[in-house]
Structure 1
Amino acid sequence: MFLAFIHGFMLALGPILPLGAQNIFVFNQGTHARKLTDVLAAVLAASFCDTLLILLAATGASLLAFSFPVIQNLFLTAGIIFLIWIGCSIWKNTEAHQETDNGRLPAKKQITFALSVSLLNPHAILDTVGVIGTSALRYSGPEKWTFVAACISVSWVWFFVLALSGHGIGKITNGPQALRLINRLSALLIWGIAAFVAVGLIRSLSG
């Protein structure tokens, strides 16, 4: 079981470390947080969503759903739309800090955004299904759930570390100009991810 845990832990690092909408959003909220508890809603929501996706992938439910191209294409389309919306919301919050006096989203909106970038994020879901879901098929019984627990633990630790890193950078660059730049870069990166997914979807449809 120890080897299953190490395998799950190392494997889960691959999909979660690259720059993605989830990471950008949690980090962005961390930079605007006056204290770590201010970003707790985003961290918990993202962690719970990853836990759900990993459980669905490990049990084979998501693999079955994504075996149908129509479902996958519809999901990708919805994901692109939501990524564009999230980018616009972050950019808008740059122009006028209307959510709070420092640009941080309130807890309810943190949860809404985290749910969107987690459950409607094509990269996050396809990576979870393709990488973790297929690897989980190698295990059964206690070893399988040890593997799953390791994957889940990576998500929880990573999002807390990401929020902490953003909070630290926010303190160093504490100022409206710096925070405005962080917001704009976050929005541009999320739009870039949406464009990348859109290009892949167009190619698959045309092929």
Structure 2
Amino acid sequence: MIIPMLTGLLTGLTLIIAIGAQNAFVLRQGLARSHVGLVVAICAASDAVLITAGVAGLGALVTAQPALLTVIRWAGAAFLIGYGALAIRRALRPGRLVAAEETAGSAWSAAAKVMALTWLNPHVYLDTVLLLGSIASQQGDPGRWWFAGGAVVASIGWFTALGFGARALRPLLATPAAWRVLDVVIGAIMIGIAIKLLLGG
């Protein structure tokens, strides 16, 4: 069962590593050293639930409910625009680099944001549930569950590396200007994804 698991691992990494709203948020939390373990755990656990659901056959239900995906798309776009605007607003504020402890925010706030970025993203259902589910079904039984295991391992590994590995980049962001650039990039990513969602992309 090594081949199905390896296939799941590589397929999962291919889908997860692409720069998106969720990855941008995890990166920023990691750089700020703010509730990193919580954010990584929520991302990995959410992926595990979605991957398992896809492999179990939830993809057919998602396909049969296009109205649900439309609601998720609009809600997700609204959240992304708001979050992106806040990031750009932070970038436009002159000032010093604020210590991580001052900008951390509460654990509840971090959890709510990462949950919204994960579950209000229709591409999560299309990629993680539908695509991974359909590829897994080609592995047969019990191969599809080994495939799912590989994809879950990929998710855990990626988010752990991104969240906790981000601190290695912190010296590069030791100035207010560098953090402002990061916030502009994050804001642009969020708003860009929101526009793509609204256009049905």
TM-score tier (shorter): 0.7 to 0.9
**Deviation per residue, 1:63-89 (Å, 9 max, x gap):** 312323222222211221222222234
CA contact (8 A) 1:32 1:179 kept: no
1:115 is aligned to: 115
Cα deviations by residue, 1:88-134 (Å, 9 ceiling, x for unpaired): 34345554999965533432221111111111112233211232011
Residues 93 and 103 in structure 1, CA contact (< 8 A), matched pair in contact too: no
Q: Is 1:45 matched with 2:42? A: yes
The residue aligned with 2:56 is 59
Q: Can you list the C-alpha shifts for 1:161-183, whole angstroms capped at 9, x where unaligned? A: 11133221123322222122212
Q: Secondary structure at the match of 2:125?
A: helix
Q: Distance in 2 between matches of 1:181 and 1:105?
A: 21
Decide whether the 8 Å contact of 2:81 with 2:190 is kept in 1: yes
Q: Which moved more, 1:97-106 or 1:126-135?
A: 97-106
TM normalised by structure 1 equals: 0.85
**Who is 1:187 aligned against?**
187
Match of 1:90 among 87, 99, 120: 87
Q: Which deviates more from structure 2 when the two are superposed, residues 87-96 or residues 174-183?
A: 87-96
Q: How many residue pairs are counted as aligned between the two chains? A: 198
Find the aligned partners of 2:45 and 2:90 in 1 and give their Cα distance. Answer: 25
8 A contact 1:100–1:106 mirrored in 2: no
| RMSD between superposed Cα atoms in Å | 2.4
- 1:140-179 pair list within 5 angstroms: 140-179=140-179
Matched, 1:13 2:20: no
**Shift of residue 195, structure 1, vs aligned partner:** 0.7
Moved more, 40-49 or 102-111: 102-111
Partner amino acid, structure 2, of 1:148: A
Contiguous gaps of at least 5 residues in structure 1? 202-207
Partner of 1:74: 71
Query: Mean Cα displacement is larger for which, 171-180 or 21-30?
Result: 171-180
**Is contact 2:54–2:128 with CA below 8 Å preserved after alignment?**
yes
% identical equivalent positions? 26
Distance in 1 separating the partners of 2:79 and 2:150: 29
Encode CA deviations 1:12-38: one digit per residue, 9 max, x unaligned.
1221111111111101111112xxx74
Greater displacement, 124-133 / 95-104? 95-104
Normalized against structure 2, the TM-score is what? 0.87
Structure 2: distance between partners of 1:77 and 1:38: 28
Which residue identity is paired with 1:25?
Answer: F
Map of 1:205 onto structure 2: none
Task: Find the aligned partners of 1:176 and 1:132 in 2 and give their Cα distance.
Answer: 41
Any unmatched runs of 5+ in structure 2? none
